[in-house]
């Protein structure tokens, strides 16, 4: 009640959404054309896809769903790419979109921004819900939060019709309708027999190998994971976003002997990593046909998805690893010494090859010489986030740049998608307040490049390094179709990308050799200001599709 007028205090649907968010510890909205509300930080983007990507990565980093808010139809669809990508990568996020009058939408009578959004979202989201009454906003958001973070995390769509958002109701009634979610992602304990089975299999292994995936990184169980790896002595391989879970220079890392380790391992333990295309589906020739697989995952149906799993451990990774540790004592797990020697030899050989690549000083720079410079600058800065997308720029940076802390490497992920760059960089900077370096292929950058303005507007400590090789994969292809147009994969090599950020008051740099690149990056990081380094890379240096040229469609006719 308002004491002066003796009439009830009122609220509306939008404010209820905000209050429901705050009640659940969600304090940031990423979106385009937002409405202000006290106590909520609103980050306004130039495109919904980047807003959605920022929300998704904040979900990955914090274990709380990132919130993206869009307008209906086109704004919703722009955000959907990010929601689908979040679901594919198991990142918790909620896309909230306003929607038009359903009476008109459902009869397709042509409303402003008409689209049947909920049904459009369903196939690409973990779940899609609609709130049809303002008093259901609280329960609707609670349901969205729980769905996003429990079990395998993912993207949830929450449809809010304009009339619900605009509805007026008694503030007290509204407040009472809100729901605080208790234990949104409950622990899921593995069965004791599953733990014993896994340890039995590991005990019999001669050449065991542990693969760490981004599910392991998400679960924030790195202390126990490290303990388990060190106590068993089993070599490990991190998937790209699991780099840094244990430092890349850990003596048990088999990363420098990756192909050898996959092909030779006789028992493989997957911790929060799927046997998808990124692991050759677990099949030969990449893997031994007789290797046995142990898998830790929260999703029961992930087991046997590509290859038989002899010891499935279904549970959350923190609980599962902790149970493994608690039960480890009587087991004699000991990788064979021949295995460790073989791996060490391979590592040394490959490390020498890498050192030669990095030491070469080609002019113009190739990917290795540029990345060598960046590696040097980042070596003692474990707190820095590294965002990475492109083809060669992605594949080679993943191998060259060591990570020393968990959840610092954010990249194209399960889809190998382009366009996450600036959104992830902004999400990481906003969530953590820490500096971000985004290493971007010149093509990859273009997908979210306008968000450079967002970075400057919010004065975020993001340094974007563009690997400008003048194209997609390479910059030297020629047009073979007969016309005067450039080849389809060619981009403007002479483009002065650094001028883009200068237009918005950020610092632009151009680097054509490793020394200038090191200097520019060190300066940019020291300043804490938004910066962009246009890095000249030899257009002849890359290969088609980077390291996955073998996945391109093959045809016997040219
Ligand atoms: P990568 O790409 O790094 O190999 P994936 O995204 O393929 O990793 O696999 C991540 C896996 O981790 C998914 O199968 C997902 O179900 C699982 N996962 C995510 N969070 C957890 C968790 N907290 N506990 C257990 N498993 C999890
Ligand atoms: C949404 C296909 C894969 S890699 C790539 C594209 C367009 C760009 C590679 O060029 P870049 O890197 O970034 O300059 P480099 O170092 O090799 O020159 N659309 C989407 N996602 C993907 N993956 C593509 C297209 C693709
Ligand atoms: Mg390129």
Counting atoms of ligand 2 from 1, which one is nearest the CA of 416?
23
Query: Which of 523, 542, 544 is CA-nearest to residue 465?
Result: 523
Q: Is the pLDDT of residue 558 over 60?
A: no
Q: How confident is the model over 90-104, as a mean pLDDT?
A: 96
Ligand 2 centroid–CA 116 distance in Å is 31
End-to-end CA distance of the chain: 77
Residue nearest to atom 21 of ligand 1 (CA): 215
Q: How confident is the model over 446-452, as a mean pLDDT?
A: 98
Looking at residue 5, its pLDDT comes to 65
Per-residue pLDDT tens over the stretch 526-552: 999 999 999 999 999 999 888 888 888
CA distance 304 to 118: 32
The residue to mutate among 90, 322, 412, having the most atoms of ligand 1 within 8 angstroms of its beta carbon, is: 90
Residue nearest to atom 19 of ligand 1 (CA): 215
The residue to mutate among 397, 472, 536, 549, having the most atoms of ligand 2 within 8 angstroms of its beta carbon, is: 472
Determine whether the shortest distance from the Cβ of 467 to ligand 2 is under 6 A.
Answer: yes
Per-residue pLDDT tens over the stretch 17-61: 999 999 999 999 999 988 888 899 999 999 999 999 999 999 999
Cβ neighbour number for residue 209 with a 10 Å cutoff: 23
Counting atoms of ligand 2 from 1, which one is nearest the CA of 391?
17
Ligand 2 centroid–CA 468 distance in Å is 13
> Which pTM value belongs to this model?
0.97
Band (1; pLDDT cuts 50, 70, 90) = low
Q: Residues 237, 212: contact at Cβ < 8 Å?
A: yes
CA distance 35 to 440: 32
Q: Is the pLDDT of residue 4 over 80?
A: no
Report CA 380 to chain centroid distance, whole Å. Answer: 23
Percent of the chain scoring above 90 in pLDDT: 94
Ligand 2 centroid–CA 360 distance in Å is 26
Band (554; pLDDT cuts 50, 70, 90) = confident
Determine whether the shortest distance from the Cβ of 477 to ligand 2 is under 6 A.
Answer: no
Determine whether the shortest distance from the Cβ of 297 to ligand 1 is under 6 A.
Answer: yes
CA distance 453 to 464: 12
Looking at residue 18, its pLDDT comes to 96
Q: How confident is the model over 343-361, as a mean pLDDT?
A: 95
Q: What share of the chain is helix, strand, coil (3-state, %, to 5)?
A: 45, 15, 40
Show the tokens assigned to 22.
Answer: 């705050």
Counting atoms of ligand 1 from 1, which one is nearest the CA of 213?
3
Q: How confident is the model over 230-254, as a mean pLDDT?
A: 98
Nearest ligand, measured from the Cα of 82: 2
Show the tokens assigned to 481.
Answer: 């179709």
Show the tokens assigned to 539.
Answer: 């257009």
Q: Is the pLDDT of residue 227 over 80?
A: yes
Cβ neighbour number for residue 518 with a 10 Å cutoff: 18
Nearest ligand, measured from the Cα of 413: 1
Q: Residues 261, 293: contact at Cβ < 8 Å?
A: no
Per-residue pLDDT tens over the stretch 392-422: 999 999 999 999 999 999 999 999 999 999 9
Residue nearest to atom 20 of ligand 2 (CA): 418
Counting atoms of ligand 2 from 1, which one is nearest the CA of 441?
13
Determine whether the shortest distance from the Cβ of 416 to ligand 2 is under 6 A.
Answer: yes
Q: Is the pLDDT of residue 145 over 60?
A: yes
Percent of the chain scoring above 70 in pLDDT: 98
Per-residue pLDDT tens over the stretch 296-313: 999 999 999 999 999 999
């Amino acid at each position: 009640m308002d004491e002066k007028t003796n009439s009830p205090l009122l609220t509306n649907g939008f404010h209820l959404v905000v209050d429901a968010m705050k009640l659940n510890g969600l304090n940031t909205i990423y979106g385009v054309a937002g409405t202000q509300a006290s106590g909520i930080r609103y980050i306004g983007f130039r495109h919904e896809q980047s807003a959605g990507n920022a929300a998704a990565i904040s979900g990955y980093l914090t274990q709380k769903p990132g919130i993206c808010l869009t307008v209906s139809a086109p704004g919703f669809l722009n955000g959907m790419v990010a929601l689908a990508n979040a679901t594919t990568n198991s990142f918790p996020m909620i896309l909230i979109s306003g929607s038009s009058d359903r009476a008109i939408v459902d009869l397709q009578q042509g409303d402003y921004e008409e689209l049947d959004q909920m049904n459009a979202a369903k196939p690409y989201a973990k779940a899609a819900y609609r709130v049809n009454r303002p008093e259901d906003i609280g329960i609707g958001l609670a349901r969205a939060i729980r769905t996003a973070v429990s079990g395998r995390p993912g993207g949830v769509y929450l449809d809010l019709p304009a009339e619900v958002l605009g509805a007026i109701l008694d503030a007290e009634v509204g407040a009472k309708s809100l729901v605080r979610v208790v234990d949104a992602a409950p622990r899921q304990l593995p069965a004791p027999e599953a733990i014993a089975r896994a340890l039995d299999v590991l005990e019999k292994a001669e050449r065991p190998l542990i693969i760490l995936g981004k599910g392991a990184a998400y679960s924030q169980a790195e202390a126990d994971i490290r303990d388990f790896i060190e106590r068993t002595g089993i070599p490990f391989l991190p998937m790209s976003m699991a780099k840094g879970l244990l430092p890349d220079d850990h003596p048990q890392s088999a990363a420098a002997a990756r192909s050898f380790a996959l092909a030779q391992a006789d028992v493989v333990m997957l911790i929060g990593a799927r046997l998808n295309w990124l692991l050759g589906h677990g099949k030969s020739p990449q893997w031994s046909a007789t290797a046995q697989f142990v898998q830790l995952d929260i999703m029961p149906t992930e087991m046997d998805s590509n290859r038989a799993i002899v010891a499935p451990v279904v549970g959350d990774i923190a609980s599962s690893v902790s149970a493994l540790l608690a039960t480890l004592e009587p087991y004699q797990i000991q990788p064979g010494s021949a295995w460790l020697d073989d791996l060490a030899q391979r590592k040394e050989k490959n490390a020498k090859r890498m050192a030669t690549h990095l030491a070469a000083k080609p002019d113009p720079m190739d990917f290795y010489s540029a990345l060598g410079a960046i590696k040097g600058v980042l070596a003692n800065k474990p707190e820095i986030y590294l965002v990475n997308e492109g083809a060669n720029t992605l594949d080679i940076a993943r191998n060259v740049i060591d990570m020393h802390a968990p959840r610092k490497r954010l990249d194209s992920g399960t889809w190998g998608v382009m366009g996450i760059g600036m959104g992830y960089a902004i999400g990481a900077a906003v969530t953590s307040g820490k500096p971000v370096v985004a290493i971007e292929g010149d093509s990859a950058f273009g997908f979210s490049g306008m968000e450079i303005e967002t970075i400057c507007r919010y004065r975020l400590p993001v340094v974007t390094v563009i690997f400008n090789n003048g194209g997609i994969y390479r910059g030297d292809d020629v047009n073979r179709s007969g016309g005067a147009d450039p080849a389809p994969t060619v981009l403007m090599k002479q483009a002065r990308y650094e001028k883009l950020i200068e237009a918005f008051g950020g610092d632009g740099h151009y680097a054509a050799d490793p020394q200038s690149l090191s200097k520019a990056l060190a300066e940019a990081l020291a300043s804490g200001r938004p910066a962009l380094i246009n890095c000249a890379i030899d257009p002849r240096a890359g290969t088609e599709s980077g390291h996955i040229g073998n996945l391109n469609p093959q045809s016997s006719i040219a």
